[in-house]
Amino acid sequence: MAGRGHNSGDTDATGAYSVTADELRQFIERAEQLASEKKDVGEQEKELFAEAKDRGYDTKVMRKIIALRKRKPDELAEENAILTMYGEALGMDIFG
* Residue 9 confidence (pLDDT): 54
pLDDT category at 63 given cuts 50, 70, 90 is: very high
Q: How far is CA 27 from the centre of its chain?
A: 21
**Which residues neighbour 62 within 8 Å (Cβ) at sequence distance 6 or greater?**
49, 52
| pLDDT tens string 25-60 | 999 999 999 999 999 999 999 999 999 999 999 999
CB-side exposure of 62: number of CA atoms within 13 Å?
13
Measure the CA–CA gap between 66 and 60, rounded to whole angstroms.
10
